[in-house]
Amino acid sequence: MRPLPLRLRLTAWYFAVLAATLTSFSVVAFMEMRNTMGRGVDDELRDRLRGFQEVLRKEAPFRSARAIASTLAEHTGGNDLFRMADDAGAWVYRSPAADSLEATLPRLGNVQEPASLATVDTHGSSLRILTTTLALTGAAYRVQVGESIDQYATTTTRFGRLLLMSVPLMLMLAVTGGVWLSRRALLPVDRITREARDVTARNLGKRLEVPETRDELQRLSETLNSMLERLDHAFQRITQFTADASHELKTPLAVMRTMAEVPLRVPSSEAEYRQALTGIIRELSRTSKLVDDLLYVARGDSGASGLNKCRVNLIEVVRSAGAQGESMALRRQLSFELDTCDTSIWVDGDREALQRLLVILLDNATKYTPPQGSVVLRASRCGEVACVVVADTGIGIDQADLPHVFERFYRADKARSRDSGGVGLGLAIARWIATGHGGTIVVTSTLGRGSLFSVRLPAIP
């Protein structure tokens, strides 16, 4: 089943909450009014009885039952319900209203019984009756006083009907207003949705309009713009990566095709065929290394670490990489120095990846250092950090190129060929490996005087 739109769900929740609130309020208000009016009737009966008691004490003290009856007859109206009996049960006084309702009134009881309140129905009318003991000087009498509660019941009934009619009306008005408010409140969301729907791969640079409301809508727009910016950056990187990879792969493929076509077009000797095959194998080896580097970079972009970490002695890795660095330095007529401490430096890392990082740095150092120059590989520990430094006396890097040297396919020396300068993926891979180990790699360089690459990794205590 298709879910309801958000504005209808909001309205439904608003209706449910408001209906429960109004219903609860109506029930509480009705009960409170009924109880309040009931307490008012009971209090009025008690006040009336106290008034009769005061009259009797002032006007008929130590008088006979006849005198008490005469006094009560003067102060009670014809419609007042009042009757009074002595301790023996003999009637002292009964008002005309009480006399006519003799059969329906509660019994008086004796003077030892506690006071009581009761509601009785008489000929379609409801009466509230208070029965209690009245103490006068020298004697105690059983008294009963009553009052009609039809007016109070009518008022309570009208109030209940008013609530029954007003609550549905208020709910209808509230639902209508809720629909209007929800539609108005969600208009900015609809606008954001339309603008976001218009963003495609061709216009990722487009941004949503941010309302200056300092509320959830502004935060939503800013969050979506931030997401679009990250997507735009990632898409540009992928596009650039695809273009650069295609360009780098196109060159060796073209070279290999040329090397294979020339001997086939022109009759050649065995030596020429061998030379062509040797060139093809050389280009295949270079292309295989390029594909390997591209896979490394793609693995980093996908978020997969690809690192098999374990407890590794960094000094052993540095010495192993140093042996390769020394071999590269000798081929290029460079002096090589390996400086490590005697104690082990343990890190949580991938031995092969760490060695590849150091070999990349050593390859760059020997590649860009003129003959008779020097390359230094140094490893040390400073507190909880393991530091490996590769320094050279090469051509250095221009200050304008330093922020970009770790970018893929970037060459600081644009004039270098593929044979001498590579494709520009080595330092990007080195940074990915360092970052994957929770470390950093930084470079400082002076043009014409050399460069220094520093790798810092968290060491195991």
| Ramachandran region, residue 396 (left: φ > 0; alpha: ψ -120 to 50; beta: rest) | left
Domain 310-458 in CATH 3.30.565.10? The answer is yes
Adjacent-strand bridge partners of 443: 453
| Residues 115-162: tens digit of each pLDDT | 888 888 887 788 888 898 888 767 788 888 888 888 888 888 899 999
Most confident of 39-48, 138-147, 271-280, 385-394: 385-394
Q: With pLDDT > 90 as the criterion, what percentage of the chain qualifies?
A: 23
Q: Which fold has domain 6-156?
A: Beta-Lactamase (3.30.450)
If one counts every other C-beta atom within 10 angstroms of the C-beta of residue 132, the result is: 20
Strands in 335-339's sheet, in edge-to-edge order, are 335-339, 374-382, 385-392, 450-458, 440-446
Q: What is the mean pLDDT of residues 47-67?
A: 74
pLDDT of 304 higher than 60:
no
Q: Which fold has domain 216-302?
A: Helix Hairpins (1.10.287)
| Ramachandran region, residue 220 (left: φ > 0; alpha: ψ -120 to 50; beta: rest) | alpha
Tokens for 223?
Answer: 């969050």
**Looking at the chain, which residues constitute the CATH 1.10.287.130 domain(s)?**
216-302
Phi, psi (5° rounding) for residue 9? -65, -40
Q: Please spell the DSSP secondary structure of 233-250, one letter per residue.
A: HHHHHHHHHHHHHHHHHH
Strands (E), 57-124: 81-85, 91-94, 116-122
Give the contacts of 433 (CB within 8 A, at least 6 positions apart): 307, 350, 353, 354, 356, 357
Give dist(CA 273, CA 260) in Å, integer: 9
Give dist(CA 374, CA 330) in Å, integer: 10
Which of 134, 101, 143, 141 minimizes the C-alpha distance to 120?
101
Give dist(CA 402, CA 360) in Å, integer: 17
Q: Strand, coil or helix: what is 317?
A: helix
Find tokens 């109206």 and name the residue.
77
pTM, full prediction: 0.52
What is the model's pLDDT at position 295? 74
Helices within 92-149 (DSSP H only): 96-100
Give dist(CA 27, CA 40) in Å, integer: 20
What is the model's pLDDT at position 193? 79
Adjacent-strand bridge partners of 81: 146
Mean pLDDT computed over every residue of the chain:
83
Q: Strand, coil or helix: what is 83?
A: strand
In angstroms, what CA-CA distances link 421 with 15, 63, 249, 416? 72, 134, 15, 5
Radius of gyration for the chain, computed over Cα atoms and rounded to the nearest angstrom: 51
- Tell me the longest C-alpha to C-alpha distance in the chain: 160
pLDDT of 301 higher than 80:
no
Degrees to nearest 5, angle at CA 234 with 231 and 239: 120
| Contacts made by residues 280-285, CB under 8 angstroms, sequence distance 24+ | 280/256, 283/252, 283/255, 283/256, 283/259, 284/252, 284/256
What is the model's pLDDT at position 415? 45
**Looking at the chain, which residues constitute the CATH 3.30.565.10 domain(s)?**
310-458
**Could you tell me the sign of the dihedral formed by the alpha carbons of 224, 227, 229, 234, in that order?**
negative
Give dist(CA 405, CA 427) in Å, integer: 7
Give dist(CA 100, CA 103) in Å, integer: 8
Give the contacts of 229 (CB within 8 A, at least 6 positions apart): 207
| Residues 327-359: tens digit of each pLDDT | 999 999 999 999 988 889 999 999 998 999 999
DSSP class of 394: S
Q: What is the mean pLDDT of residues 287-311?
A: 72
Tokens for 228?
Answer: 């679009």
What is the model's pLDDT at position 60? 62
What is the model's pLDDT at position 300? 64
pLDDT band at 412 (very low <50, low <70, confident <90, very high): low
Most confident of 8-22, 87-101, 188-202: 8-22
**Looking at the chain, which residues constitute the CATH 3.30.450 domain(s)?**
6-156
Give the contacts of 192 (CB within 8 A, at least 6 positions apart): 208, 217, 220, 221, 224
Phi, psi (5° rounding) for residue 459? -95, 150
What is the model's pLDDT at position 7? 72
Q: How many CA atoms lie within 13 A of 345 on its CB side?
A: 24
Amino acid, single-letter form, for residue 184 = R
Burial level of 303, CB count in 10 A (0-12/13-18/19+)? exposed
Degrees to nearest 5, angle at CA 434 with 428 and 438: 140
Which helix (H) or strand (E) segment is 208 a member of? none
| Residues 414-432: tens digit of each pLDDT | 544 445 455 677 888 889 8
| Residues 379-391: tens digit of each pLDDT | 999 889 999 999 9
Give dist(CA 432, CA 360) in Å, integer: 12
If one counts every other C-beta atom within 10 angstroms of the C-beta of residue 322, the result is: 23
Amino acid, single-letter form, for residue 113 = E
